[in-house]
């Protein structure tokens, strides 16, 4: 069972990560708004557009992570943090430390990945 002290540590970790992501997101938006630069060389423009697309993909992934962090913080606050949403067993402390936003114990996650692998074939 995860201790209250460990939950508090993970809550602080998640809160800090959320703050960092939100700050980086604000900076990224302002950087993208400054993209109206004129490029004399088409290859320079293509490079800049490629970098912009890459940054947009990163921001999209970060947006998903922000949602997961908020959900984890909500689970901490309502007392359901650390409980597997599939089998309702406790998630190991090591797994929570490695992936604080997880909602599945390692066994259920392995099962999920095995099912996904079969569907991909």
**pLDDT at residue 109, rounded to an integer:** 97
**Extents of the domains making up the chain:** 4-120
CB contact at 8 A, 72 and 100: yes
pLDDT averaged per 10 residues, the chain (length 121):
92 96 74 63 82 88 96 96 96 95 97 90 75
What fold does the segment set 4-120 form as a domain?
1.20.120
pLDDT of the residue at 86: 97
Look up the pTM and report it: 0.78
- Tokens linked to 59: 């921001």
């Amino acid at each position: 069972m995860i201790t209250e002290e460990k939950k508090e540590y993970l809550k602080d970790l998640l809160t800090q990560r959320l703050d960092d992501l939100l700050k980086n997101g604000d900076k990224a938006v302002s950087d993208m708004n400054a993209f109206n630069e004129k490029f004399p060389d088409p290859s320079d423009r293509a490079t800049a557009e490629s970098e912009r697309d890459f940054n947009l993909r990163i921001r999209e992934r970060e947006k998903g992570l922000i949602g997961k962090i908020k959900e984890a913080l909500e689970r901490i606050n309502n007392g359901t943090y650390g409980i597997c949403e599939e089998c309702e067993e406790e998630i190991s402390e090591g797994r929570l430390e490695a992936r604080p936003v997880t909602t599945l114990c390692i066994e259920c996650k392995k099962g999920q990945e095995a099912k996904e692998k079969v569907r991909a074939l």
